Amino acid sequence: MQPLNFSAVLVLFLCCLFQLSSAWTMNNFLMTGPKAYLTYASSVRVGAQSAIQECKRQFALEKWNCPENTLSLSPHNGMRSATRETSFVHAISAAGVMYTLTKNCTAGDFDSCGCDDSKIGQPGGVGWIWGGCSDNVAFGEKISKQFVDALEDGHDSRAAVNLHNNKAGRLAIKATMRKACKCHGVSGSCTIQTCWMQMADFREVGNYLKLKYKHAKELEMDKKAARAGNSADNRDAVTHTFLIVATTELIYLESSPNYCVKNQTLGLHGTEGRECFKEDKNMSEWEKNSCRRLCNECGLKVVKKRTEVFTSCNCKFHWCCTVKCEKCKRVVAKYFYATECLRAAVSKPAGHSCPISEPWAIT
């Protein structure tokens, strides 16, 4: 029996990790493979899930809202696009996996690593020295690279772009790190400080990468060479183009499709039927204008629907030891993107023939 090829086992493991049942399902694992990598499987799963959540938060009010069925990282899913949106998916995924691995490492969850103590005791600046427990981003970066980058088994332009964006995501973790310090001295004075480096909240990493997404660069490549697949011409074209691109920037090859309309081939649901939000005092101006902005861009109308919502109220403590509440009903207004046809159905529902298939439609 021939020995298992390490790369083949790792890729197979990751394909199961990222693709079973849906593009982002993480609950099933291939329980074979290098033992060292199975040790990190749970952290990889949690990191990938964090990336999903952050992606959905960042794009909740955008035409493309990070739908799960379009987010597979595997090159074998039949939709190997390299758009501005997939650049963000790759970056946030690599960052999420690196973030969780680093956190678990620093917390001592793995036998093989702990805090980054490489600078402890060294002078850092005026009035402070390196100390404490710095997040071990070198470990997180290494293992994340081995897991996520293993999904790219080609050498064409798309693979190169995806690997570049993976790296940009990992660099985002480093770029958003901050210095934390603790004072030392008599009676609470701050005679000297010990400082360490710690990662920012993952939401800050998401904000950082969303800004990179907005300024992502479309690569201008020789189209003939780019179509050459894994040929020498293609690799030469990729190498030449990447020389002028900063490793911290997100890049893409193809223009984005029209996310306003439904496209079954690409797995896009369009914006019709999605809920939007307006007139909430806790919202930013960007959020308040989401209905108007997306409807104008997609040529839709906003439909207002009144919905009954039940919440707990008039709660009382009963000895001992329960809390009993009543159910209170209130009517709230919700807003949805709709076509002109559906708008007509709202104003004149009786006998109207406009087909309505979405569960949120007229009540």
Residue 259 lies in a domain: no
| Tokens 């997609």, residue located | 298
pLDDT value of residue 15 = 46
Residue 313 pLDDT greater than 60, yes or no:
yes
Report pLDDT digits (tens) over 202-216. 999 999 999 999 999
Cα separation, 67 vs 69, whole angstroms: 6
Residue 22 lies in a domain: yes
206 and 321 belong to one structural domain: no
Mean per-residue pLDDT of the chain: 76
More confident residue, 270 or 345: 270
pLDDT value of residue 157 = 84
More confident residue, 270 or 47: 47
Cα separation, 281 vs 166, whole angstroms: 37
Cα separation, 160 vs 316, whole angstroms: 61
Residue 358 pLDDT greater than 90, yes or no:
no
144 and 239 belong to one structural domain: yes
Looking at the structure of the chain, the number of domains it has is 2
pLDDT value of residue 210 = 96
Residue 283 pLDDT greater than 50, yes or no:
yes
Inter-residue contact 321 to 346 (CB < 8 Å): no
State both tokens at 322. Answer: 């329960």
Lowest-confidence pick of 30-44, 92-106, 153-167, 171-185:
30-44
107 and 169 belong to one structural domain: yes
Farthest CA pair distance, the chain = 83
State both tokens at 37. Answer: 């990598």
Q: Say whether 125 sits in a helix, a strand or coil.
A: strand
Q: Which domain holds residue 157?
A: 6-116+134-177+200-252
State both tokens at 12. Answer: 């197979």
Residue 321 pLDDT greater than 80, yes or no:
no
On the 0-12 / 13-18 / 19+ scale of CB atoms within 10 A, 237 is buried
Residue 317 lies in a domain: yes
Residue 252 pLDDT greater than 50, yes or no:
yes
18 and 157 belong to one structural domain: yes
pLDDT value of residue 11 = 41
Cα separation, 206 vs 204, whole angstroms: 5
Inter-residue contact 115 to 104 (CB < 8 Å): no
162 and 73 belong to one structural domain: yes
Give the ranges where 71-113 is alpha helix by DSSP (H): 84-106
pLDDT value of residue 190 = 83
Q: What pTM did the predictor assign?
A: 0.75
Report pLDDT digits (tens) over 176-185. 999 999 998 8
Tell me which DSSP letter residue 20 carries: S
Tell me which DSSP letter residue 67 carries: -
State both tokens at 198. Answer: 């710690």
304 and 162 belong to one structural domain: no
Cα separation, 171 vs 166, whole angstroms: 9
CATH number of the domain to which 290 belongs: 3.30.2460.20
Please report the DSSP string for 209-276 in residue order: HHHHHHT-EE----HHHHTTTTSHHHHHHHHHHHTTS-TTS-EESS----TTS-BTTTTB--STT-EE
68 and 154 belong to one structural domain: yes
Lowest-confidence pick of 22-31, 72-81, 241-250:
22-31
Cα separation, 64 vs 269, whole angstroms: 9
Cα separation, 237 vs 224, whole angstroms: 10
327 and 207 belong to one structural domain: no
238 and 296 belong to one structural domain: no
Residue 360 lies in a domain: no
Peptide bond between residue 183 and the one before it cis (omega within 30 degrees of 0): no
pLDDT value of residue 39 = 81
More confident residue, 296 or 82: 82
Averaged pLDDT for residues 144-149: 90
Residue 214 lies in a domain: yes
Q: Say whether 37 sits in a helix, a strand or coil.
A: helix
Cα separation, 344 vs 206, whole angstroms: 40
Residue 6 pLDDT greater than 50, yes or no:
no
pLDDT value of residue 332 = 76
Highest mean pLDDT among 42-46, 143-147, 197-201, 251-255: 197-201
State both tokens at 65. Answer: 């809202």
Residue 306 pLDDT greater than 70, yes or no:
yes
Lowest-confidence pick of 41-45, 135-139, 154-158, 171-175:
154-158
Residue 182 lies in a domain: no
Q: Say whether 12 sits in a helix, a strand or coil.
A: helix
Residue 35 pLDDT greater than 50, yes or no:
yes
210 and 146 belong to one structural domain: yes
pLDDT value of residue 70 = 56
Residue 309 lies in a domain: yes
Please report the DSSP string for 93-145 in residue order: HHHHHHHHHHHHHHTT-STT---B-TTTTSEEETTEEE-S-B--HHHHHHHHH
236 and 314 belong to one structural domain: no
Report pLDDT digits (tens) over 36-80. 567 888 899 999 999 999 999 999 888 898 887 655 665 555 446
171 and 211 belong to one structural domain: yes
Residue 190 lies in a domain: no
